[in-house]
Copies of this chain bind each other. A is one copy, B any other.
Amino acid sequence: MSLTLDDADHRLLAVLQNNGKASLQELAEAAGLSQSPCWRRIKRMEDAGLIRGYVARLDPKGLGLHALAYVFVTLIDHREETIAGFGRLVAREERIVECASITGSADFILKVAAKDPEDLETFLMKGVLATGMVRESQTHFILRQTKTRSPWPLL
């Protein structure tokens, strides 16, 4: 799985992180190679799972999602069943667009998207807190997103 990447690979990834539809011609130029080896390198990284896929980036505002928030969640207890149940909740609810378990006083941090603050509040109350799995939650509304889903650094 862990494959070695040289500078040319990094250049290819840098382009593809910005433009997933870049043509082999563009990619070849950026990498300083011709098209065939470019194609092979990309295929190799796709097959290795390093490139997980290609997706369209959408504008949440354009979709009518005017309320975004980060929500800290502390579970009511830490039995396996509770954790699994919460995992299913996260997987099921499309308004939860990101979830990670973290260090610190909370168990999870969620990123939640909703139509408006009211919709978000309803979702948290009825969709999350009412399940009885959450002891505590803390909501931080996003006022302005200054950097969004930017490319990963290639260190």
Contacts and interface: CB of A to CB of B under 8 A. Distances in A.
B1 A98 contact: no
Interface string A49-74: 11111111111101111001110000
B54 A19 contact: yes
Number of chain A interface residues as a range: 35 or more
24 contacts: A13-B56, A18-B55, A19-B53, A20-B21, A49-B59, A52-B57, A52-B59, A54-B56, A54-B57, A60-B152, A63-B152, A63-B155, A64-B155, A65-B153, A68-B100, A70-B70, A94-B151, A97-B151, A99-B145, A99-B147, A100-B146, A101-B143, A103-B141, A119-B155
Interface of A: 1-3, 5, 13, 16-21, 48-60, 62-65, 68-70, 87, 90-91, 94-104, 106, 108-109, 113-115, 119, 138, 140-155
